[in-house]
Amino acid sequence: MYNKISLKDIAKELNLSKTAVSLVLNNKGDANNISRPTQERIYAYAKKKNYKPNEIARWLSLGKTKTIGLIIPRISDSFYANIASYIERRAMEMGYTVFFSSSNEDPKKEATLIQSMFSRQVEGLIIASTQKNHAEIKYLKDNNLPFVLIDRHYPDIDTNFVVVNNYSGANRITKHLLKLARKRVGFITIKSDLKAMKERLRGYVEAIELHTENHNELVKSLDYEKFESQMDESLSDLIFFKKIDALVFSTHFLVRAGIRSLKRLGIEIPAKVAIASFSELSEFDLVNPPITVMRQPVKDIGNTAVDILFSELNELKDVKTMERTKKQRVLEPEFLIRKSCGS
């Protein structure tokens, strides 16, 4: 295998001790009085044999892995894939490797992954949680394990987190549509316990309730597993019976299904119904018309999460036991106004 040759092999071959070889190869030769000629012999032989230290053994003795873990609901979701790529970049700059894995929105699998990541000695974890692992997160916190929650947090547990202001984002979208003189703005979301989703709904509701009575009938909550098949019915009800002239989608993948439905129903965007989306797909500007979107600050989420995690790791080194104050960031999304809501 890659590590055909070990420290011991080198030591034996050169008639030296493992210690000497290890010191030299870790650039501690001078500091430990290993003579120059000996150092050179070691370097030369190591290079010749293409010696690579066995990282596992090294971690075992150092207790350091230079690795952090990232758990996301799914990598196939471009939102998380993009966050992952920024996290990876930032971590790489700090000399760290990122260990990804996805929970597929399954709390049990998430719990397993958290355990497995830590038992694989990641130094810290960034988690976009299913939000259904209360006990597990509490456990991490109580045991002073370094972690940062992103995108989804547990409001009643005091942890580090980086989230987006879902309330204000949805609120701004709705108000924008109302300002464009749309009279009846509908809202399509998925049934979900995720706080993000609830907040988006709240943002919508608090904007619309000042303008529209009976706004409850303008909201449709679809099932996560079958929103595609439910979309036609929900939309025709909203459009033909509830007479909406604008529509907010609570998340990107709903938009994909929504536009497909609107096409099938022959509804023109934005003439008949204006639409806007919370959360973005990189193709939203290609669609005809291009989709107005409240874009989540993906890069910022990733970078901030890494920075918080590293500051946490550093503090841990200094203050062992003390409870640290948690770093909590609520980032504002960015509003990209396009044709789909009519100028």
Judged by beta carbon distances under 5 to 8 A according to partner kind, the member of DNA, a copy of itself, none in contact with residue 100 is a copy of itself
Of 116-155, binders to a copy of itself (CB under 8 A) are 116, 118-121, 143, 145
Q: Which of 59, 56, 68 has its CA nearest to residue 94?
A: 68
Which stretches of the chain bind DNA, using CB under 7 A? Answer: 3, 6-8, 15-20, 22-23, 25-26, 28, 32-35, 37-38, 53-54, 57-58, 60-63
- Min dist. Cβ of residue 308 to DNA (A): 27
For 56-98, give the DSSP string: HHHHHHH----EEEEEES-TTSHHHHHHHHHHHHHHHHTT-EE
Stretch that binds a copy of itself, among 83-91, 205-213, 231-239, 307-315 (CB under 8 A): 83-91
Judged by beta carbon distances under 5 to 8 A according to partner kind, the member of a copy of itself, DNA, none in contact with residue 16 is DNA
Amino acid occupying residue 322: M
Judged by beta carbon distances under 5 to 8 A according to partner kind, the member of DNA, a copy of itself, none in contact with residue 99 is a copy of itself
CA angle (116, 122, 125) in 5-degree steps: 85
CA distance linking residue 261 with residue 272, whole number of Å: 14
Q: Tell me whether residue 65 or residue 230 sits nearer to DNA (CB atom).
A: 65
Select the residue interacting with a copy of itself from 148, 248, 281, 301 (CB under 8 A).
281
Select the residue interacting with a copy of itself from 8, 74, 108, 191 (CB under 8 A).
74
- Min dist. Cβ of residue 165 to a copy of itself (A): 24
CA distance linking residue 339 with residue 174, whole number of Å: 15
Q: Is 99 a binder of a copy of itself (CB under 8 A)?
A: yes
Q: Which of 315, 332, 334 has its CA nearest to residue 160?
A: 315
Query: What CA–CA distances, in Å, run from 193 to 105, 140, 154, 198, 216?
Result: 12, 22, 11, 7, 18
Residue pair 71/117 in contact (Cβ under 8 Å)? The answer is yes
Judged by beta carbon distances under 5 to 8 A according to partner kind, the member of DNA, a copy of itself, none in contact with residue 154 is none
Amino acid occupying residue 318: D
List residues binding a copy of itself (CB under 8 A): 1-4, 52-57, 59-60, 65, 74-76, 78, 81-82, 84-85, 88, 97-102, 115-116, 118-121, 143, 145, 256, 259-260, 281-288
